[in-house]
Structure 1
Amino acid sequence: MFVQAEQANITSAGQGAQRKMLGAGGSLMMVEVTFEKGAVGEVHSHPHEQVSYIVQGSFRFQLGDEEQVVKKGDSVYIPSGVRHGVVALEEESVILDVFTPQREDFLTT
């Protein structure tokens, strides 16, 4: 499957954030989320494993009971069921998220 960036499906990921579906198939899914400065990815958990790579900007990232500032080039592994969330610290901060298995809830929005 090829996904051209300009043809990727874009949906809201909350106030000040947009999610772009970059690929989904088998047991994997990859999405790019762009945040305005101050936008929040609410603390939540899900049964999926997740790896987040910071493409641009920086975030205050909560993972379980730990909180760190992550910036361009950093990555975070999120085990299944662990609570996590972010706050964008810069304008146009971008995260690339990979999930396994796929987030079915993202496919229906």
Structure 2
Amino acid sequence: MEKIIVKNSEIEFEELEAKVKRKILSRGGSMMAVEVHFNKGGIGEKHSHSKHQQISYILEGEFEVEVGDEKKVLTAGDSFYAGENVEHGVKALKDSVILDVFTPQREDFLD
């Protein structure tokens, strides 16, 4: 389950809902990178992962981010960490892109 070298231009988007779509980027070993595009108002519902850790890096735009009990507005260059069983979610305040890195890989994304 590896995808070592990936050209972004060759990856199709997977539409998750009307305002959210993603591309699965490189993956290998226990890591996976995913690029997620949000239109203004798009929401990544608050949730947690029982077996995954996640770091998210804002590539462009602006998000209202909740991690645990903390809520902040993050912009390009900002990031957050959500450990196992930590509730987190985002809302795009403008058209935005986020890079999610997971360990272990999200096999549910590959179905």
TM-score by length of 1: 0.93
Please tell me the residue identity of whatever aligns with 2:101. V
1:52 is aligned to 2:44? no
Q: Deviations over 1:42-71 (max 9, x none)?
A: 111112000000000010001011111000
Report the secondary structure of 1:105's partner residue.
helix
Aligned-pair distance for 1:9?
3.8
Q: Which runs of 5+ in 1 are unaligned?
A: none
Q: In structure 1, how many angstroms separate the alpha carbons of the residues matched to 2:36 and 2:8?
A: 13
Residue 21 of structure 2 corresponds to which residue in structure 1?
18
Q: CA shift at 1:14, angstroms? A: 2.8
What is the correspondence of 1:87-102 to structure 2 with a 5 Å cutoff? Answer: 87-91=91-95, 93-102=96-105
Match of 2:78 in 1: 74
**Secondary structure at the counterpart of residue 109 of structure 2:** helix
CA distance in 1, matches of 2:24, 2:10: 10
* Alignment coverage as a number of residue pairs: 107
Identity within the alignment, %? 51
* Backbone CA RMSD of aligned residues: 1.0
Structure 1 consecutive aligned stretches of length 4 or more whose deviation exceeds 4 Å: none
TM-score (norm. length: structure 2): 0.92
Structure 2 unaligned runs (5+)? none
